[in-house]
Structure 1
Amino acid sequence: MPSTWFCLAIHSPAPAKLADFWARALGYQIVFEGPQGEVAIAKDEFSHPGMVFAPLDEPRQGKSRLHIELNPDDQDAEVERLIGLGAHRVDIGQPEDAGWVVLADPDGNEFCVLAPWRHPLEPE
């Protein structure tokens, strides 16, 4: 039997602050705060996958090897909302006419906001 995806773990120098950003960005809630400063978010305490933010004392070095891609209904409005939450635009060499916008969260982790996309067989 294959594994079930439980969560995405992200180390951060400020896990509570980063958890708050991603909870607001995704419409999630904080479902756990641990004794070592770790914070977990998810749709609710029974849903997975979620995200866990754990303390890290050393700064990130180099480009992220993993990033999140968000698929909003309105790309421009979502980019502005996320910037209002604390994200900022970054240039990683993406083409000017790319169908995505690259942002970074408050810790500098890059993520993409895609142009709205639906699977051709997905009901409207």
Structure 2
Amino acid sequence: MRLRHITVDCREPYELAAFWSGLTGWPVSAIDAPGDDEVLVEAPEPVPGLLFVRVPEPRTAKNRVHLDWVPQDRTRDEAVARAVELGAAVHEDHRGPEDRGWVTLRDPEGNEFCIEHH
């Protein structure tokens, strides 16, 4: 089998997809539009896309699964700053000496993710 999408339940699919598109540099699918109940951020092959699906209930507990990201075109600290600029919030800072460690952030709907040093 091949992993096709990583699906995230959310209240505002297009807005959350726009955040993740801005962070990853991957495009929002050309067939998706504001107000859609499902919006795809298209990843380069063979990486699975990020699919955002509208659900009525808000997030109420810690994520059981989260994504760990390693920046390719900037430093970890630059990527963290970019995420915050786009609307993320720093949740826990685990940076250590000599550029070790990671930062746990929350996207605009509170979903946790990490940005690590490469």
TM-score (norm 2): 0.83
Aligned residues: 111
CA offsets 1:15-38 (integer angstroms, 9 cap, x no match): 111000001111111114288521
Structure 1 stretches lacking a partner, 5+ long: 117-124
Structure 1 letter corresponding to 2:43: K
2:23 aligned counterpart, secondary structure: helix
Deviation at 1:61, TM superposition (A): 1.6
Aligned to 2:42: 42
Distance (Å, rounded) in 2 between the aligned partners of 1:78 and 1:96? 13
Partner residue of 2:16 out of 11, 15, 18: 18
CA RMSD of superposed structures (Å): 2.3
Q: Percent identity?
A: 32
**Structure 1: 4+ residue segments shifted above 4 A:** none
Which residues in structure 2 correspond to 1:1-124 (within 5 Å)? Answer: 3-31=1-29, 32-33=31-32, 37-43=37-43, 48-72=47-71, 73-91=74-92, 97=96, 99-116=101-118
Judged with a 3 Å threshold, the aligned counterparts in structure 2 of structure 1 residues 48 and 113 are, in CA distance, closer, same or farther, namely closer
| Structure possessing the higher radius of gyration over alpha carbons | 1
TM-score of the aligned structures, taking structure 1 as reference length: 0.79
Q: 1:95 to 1:101 in 2, by over 3 A?
A: closer
